[in-house]
């Protein structure tokens, strides 16, 4: 099954738990979360902003915005997975930000909101997973106010790479990880061309690399969470994937680990 987040509703409860753990744990990894804070700092966001997060998962992004000093706005999260939405409500209540946040089940391709409702729409590591990225852009643009902002952040998973002594197999595993985990591994390269088609003016854009050398945190849970999907895709023998995973774990223990991936941020204004 390509892309567990796209087909999350076909997965069982155990798989949901693992994916929820991964969404929450990666948000605690400084190398990764710093990329979110980097664009949040550049957003023109009045304290009373109405915010929508499309594909909100467990709501970690919205919780973080709601905790910002002086925040008096309203954050809405939409996700097509009921387990994620339940988790998002639970975590928001635990962290005392549920008064500012509302989460509902919905499809990002057909947002259940009126035109121009939001000052800010966020799409954080979602474009790579959806069925029709162009439709998501159209919907995000529709629900954004004129002059409002859309922030899109995601990986360019064609650049995802883990070191592996057999370079040829390592490269095949990189490609398999990208194609089984992401429906649109290269979508972030298309945004400069696509945004203007939806009344969105690019106001800022940049790239960062998430790199872990020696120790692993972000790429540890990435490998543990998503290598099993490569296994079940049948592209390689289960044994080959196990050897790859064992080698990654050994490198983490020995301090010889290496993995990297490029991430891009696009800020655009609705005109």
Ligand X SMILES: C[S@@+](CC[C@H](N)C(=O)[O-])C[C@H]1O[C@@H](n2cnc3c(N)ncnc32)[C@H](O)[C@@H]1O
> What residues line the site for ligand X (CB under 6 A)?
5-6, 8, 23, 55-57, 60-61, 79-81, 84, 107-109, 124-126, 129-130
User: Minimum distance from CB of 8 to ligand X (Å)?
Assistant: 5
CB nearest ligand X: which residue? 57
The residue among 19 and 216 lying less far from ligand X, judged by its C-beta, is 19
The residue among 103 and 162 lying less far from ligand X, judged by its C-beta, is 103
CA distance 168 to 52: 43
The residue among 7 and 71 lying less far from ligand X, judged by its C-beta, is 7
The residue among 198 and 263 lying less far from ligand X, judged by its C-beta, is 263
CA distance 87 to 98: 12
Rg for the chain, CA atoms, rounded: 18
The residue among 81 and 267 lying less far from ligand X, judged by its C-beta, is 81
User: Minimum distance from CB of 153 to ligand X (Å)?
Assistant: 8
The residue among 61 and 97 lying less far from ligand X, judged by its C-beta, is 61
First vs last C-alpha separation in the chain: 38
The residue among 133 and 148 lying less far from ligand X, judged by its C-beta, is 133
User: Minimum distance from CB of 174 to ligand X (Å)?
Assistant: 18
User: Minimum distance from CB of 157 to ligand X (Å)?
Assistant: 11
Residues 6+ apart with CB under 8 A from 209: 159, 260, 261, 262, 263
User: Minimum distance from CB of 22 to ligand X (Å)?
Assistant: 8
Query: Looking at the DSSP assignment, which residues form a beta bridge with residue 196?
Result: none
User: Minimum distance from CB of 3 to ligand X (Å)?
Assistant: 8
Question: Distance between alpha carbon 144 and the CA centroid of its chain, in Å?
Answer: 20
The residue among 39 and 84 lying less far from ligand X, judged by its C-beta, is 84
User: Minimum distance from CB of 55 to ligand X (Å)?
Assistant: 3
Structure tokens at 169: 């197999």
User: Minimum distance from CB of 135 to ligand X (Å)?
Assistant: 9
């Amino acid at each position: 099954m390509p892309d567990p987040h796209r087909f999350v509703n076909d997965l069982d409860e155990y798989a949901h738990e693992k994916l929820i753990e991964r969404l929450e744990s990666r948000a605690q990894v400084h190398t990764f979360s710093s990329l979110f804070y980097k664009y949040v700092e550049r957003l023109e966001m009045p304290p009373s902003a109405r915010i929508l997060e499309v594909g909100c998962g467990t709501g970690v992004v919205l919780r973080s915005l709601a905790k910002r000093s002086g925040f008096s706005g309203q954050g809405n999260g939409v996700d097509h997975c009921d387990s994620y939405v339940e988790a998002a409500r639970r975590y928001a209540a635990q962290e005392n930000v549920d008064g500012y946040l509302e989460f509902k089940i919905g499809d990002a391709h057909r947002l259940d909101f009126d035109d121009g409702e939001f000052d800010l729409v966020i799409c954080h590591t979602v474009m790579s997973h959806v069925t029709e990225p162009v439709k998501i852009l159209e919907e995000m643009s529709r629900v954004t106010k004129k002059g409002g902002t859309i922030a899109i952040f995601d990986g360019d998973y064609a650049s995802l790479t883990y070191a592996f002594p057999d370079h040829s197999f390592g490269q095949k595993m990189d490609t398999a990880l990208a194609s089984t985990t992401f429906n649109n591994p290269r979508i972030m390269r298309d945004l400069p061309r696509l945004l203007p088609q939806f009344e969105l003016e690019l106001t800022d854009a940049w790239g960062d690399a998430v790199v872990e050398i020696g120790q692993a945190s972000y790429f540890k849970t990435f490998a543990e969470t998503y290598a099993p999907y490569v296994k079940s895709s049948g592209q390689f023998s289960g044994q080959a994937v196990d050897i790859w995973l064992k080698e990654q774990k050994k490198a983490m223990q020995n301090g010889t680990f290496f993995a990297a991936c490029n991430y891009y941020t696009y800020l655009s204004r609705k005109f």
